[in-house]
Amino acid sequence: MADQLTILGLESSCDDTAAAVVRQRADDRPEILASVVKGQGELHAAYGGIVPEIAARAHAERLDLCVTEALSVSGLTLRQMDAVAVTAGPGLIGGVLAGVMCAKGIAAGAGLPLVAVNHLAGHALTPRLTDGLAFPYLILLVSGGHCQLLEVRGAEAFHRLGGTIDDAPGEAFDKVARLLGLPQPGGPSVEREAAAGDPARFDFPRPLLDRAGCDMSFSGLKTAVLRARDRLVAQQGGLTRADRADLCAGFQAAVAEVLAEKTRRALHAHLAQTPAAPSLAVAGGVAANATIRTAIERVARDVGARFVAPPLALCTDNAAMIAWAGLELYRAGRRDGMELAARPRWPLDPGRAGLLGGGRKGAKA
Ligand code: KG4
Ligand code: ZN
């Protein structure tokens, strides 16, 4: 039994402004008392990508609204919080700064301790909030901005087994959708088209599958889709509905196969270290894809590992995960001061930092 803790969390590292209140009760059970997320899709739609300055301004304008709403939903006041946790990186620097400044203001004004959270640690620790997973476990983070295989050994101990060296998978889905004239976000559109397609018609590459290790690459796959599209357009003057469906199905099958095989390798490496009661978790927007999720679940099942996929609202960017990670850090004794700086780059596993890829949403992949 530990003391009850209640943490206010803030997230603003990409294009979602979020605030949440998370409590761990005296019986250890975590509870999300409020989780407010305001997306910025409409602000960036006309630009075909996230404009960092627009994102930062929107975060600065909306953070207090999100905090007020989260407190009101939780029925609590700032005085009832034990600390304020904030994403201090990695991400788009203007947005991260907006969050850090807001959190500092709240901490100073309400006399609360401040806890800096790594955004990726927020994602990586979510299965403990949702499913009570014990350390260590393996997690695949797959979204528009991330692609990493991490062994989570503790709230501040992460071992990166691999990740993308270029695009994140969600980014590749979004680009493929754009190439085929499908609406954004591309993942759900491509998945919808792929349902009627033949995944075997196009012989798309499986990048880096022939190379040892757990690193991945998705940008060549997107180019292969572009070439196949251009060939069809040159031959027929356009694409039929069936062409589009087959291109989507072939692309999706290639992404699923690469993710599953690299996850299988990482799980074997993890099992060699932790043979008892292994667990594999998946998080990120791309985990919503049924083909990909099923492929990853099969990898876990094949070796008898527990498979955990948190609900989608907690897999995509949110502040409950930041509040929870902050809570774990607070329990471990972490406190940050007013000198806390926003960090555009902040690798979880500094030993493997050199392998980090870029990614549409900043250096997070
Ligand atoms: O985690 P998320 O909401 O935001 C970040 O990227 O941080 O993930 C969004 C990404 C987008 O690239 C979107 O196209 C992709 O996840 N996505 C999907 C699916 N749903 C969302 N990708 C493949 N299949 C889906 N069903
Ligand atoms: Zn994220």
Ligand 2 is an ion; residues with CB less than 5 A from it = 317
Please indicate, yes or no, whether residues 186 and 254 belong to a single structural domain of this protein: yes
Q: What is the pLDDT of residue 275?
A: 77
Q: What is the pLDDT of residue 42?
A: 85
Residue 338 lies in a domain: no
Please indicate, yes or no, whether residues 87 and 63 belong to a single structural domain of this protein: yes
CB of 284 closer than 6 angstroms to any ligand 1 atom: yes
Residue 364 lies in a domain: no
Query: What domain range is 267 assigned to?
Result: 137-311
SS3 (DSSP) at 81: coil
Residue 156 lies in a domain: yes
CB of 90 closer than 6 angstroms to any ligand 1 atom: no
For 150-188, how does the pLDDT look when each residue is reduced to its tens digit (9 = 90+)? 999 999 999 999 999 999 999 999 999 999 999 888 999
SS3 (DSSP) at 362: coil
Please indicate, yes or no, whether residues 125 and 191 belong to a single structural domain of this protein: no
CB of 336 closer than 6 angstroms to any ligand 1 atom: no
Please indicate, yes or no, whether residues 31 and 82 belong to a single structural domain of this protein: yes
Residue 344 lies in a domain: no
CA of 255 from ligand 1 middle (Å) equals: 13
The ranges of the chain with pLDDT < 50 are 354-365
Q: What is the number of domains present in the chain? A: 2
Please indicate, yes or no, whether residues 48 and 175 belong to a single structural domain of this protein: no
Ligand nearest the Cα atom of residue 286: 1
CA of 122 from ligand 2 middle (Å) equals: 8
Residue 100 lies in a domain: yes
| CB 226 within 8 Å of CB 181 | no
Please state the atom number of ligand 1 nearest to the C-alpha of residue 284. 1
Alpha-carbon distance of 248 to 256, in angstroms, equals: 12
| CB 126 within 8 Å of CB 315 | yes
Residue 352 lies in a domain: no
Neighbours of 82 (CB within 10 A): 18
Please indicate, yes or no, whether residues 259 and 298 belong to a single structural domain of this protein: yes
| CB 197 within 8 Å of CB 246 | yes
Radius of gyration of the chain (CA): 21
Please indicate, yes or no, whether residues 159 and 37 belong to a single structural domain of this protein: no
Q: What is the pLDDT of residue 360?
A: 44
Answering whether pTM is above 0.75, one says yes
CB of 317 closer than 6 angstroms to any ligand 1 atom: yes
Please indicate, yes or no, whether residues 196 and 295 belong to a single structural domain of this protein: yes
- For tokens 């709230």, name the residue: 155
Residue 238 lies in a domain: yes
Helices 169-179 and 219-236 sit at what angle, rounded to 10 degrees? 10
Please indicate, yes or no, whether residues 142 and 279 belong to a single structural domain of this protein: yes
Residue type present at position 55? A
Please indicate, yes or no, whether residues 209 and 307 belong to a single structural domain of this protein: yes
Domain CATH number, residue 28: 3.30.420.40
Residue 342 lies in a domain: no
**350 φ/ψ angles, rounded to the nearest 5 degrees:** -55, -25
Residue type present at position 314? L
**284 φ/ψ angles, rounded to the nearest 5 degrees:** 110, 155
Q: What is the pLDDT of residue 355?
A: 46
CA of 119 from ligand 2 middle (Å) equals: 6
Alpha-carbon distance of 90 to 92, in angstroms, equals: 7
Please indicate, yes or no, whether residues 146 and 271 belong to a single structural domain of this protein: yes
Which of 265, 253, 286 is CA-nearest to residue 359? 286
Residue nearest to atom 19 of ligand 1 (CA): 187
Please state the atom number of ligand 1 nearest to the C-alpha of residue 177. 14
Residue nearest to atom 14 of ligand 1 (CA): 187
Alpha-carbon distance of 155 to 272, in angstroms, equals: 21
Please indicate, yes or no, whether residues 60 and 186 belong to a single structural domain of this protein: no
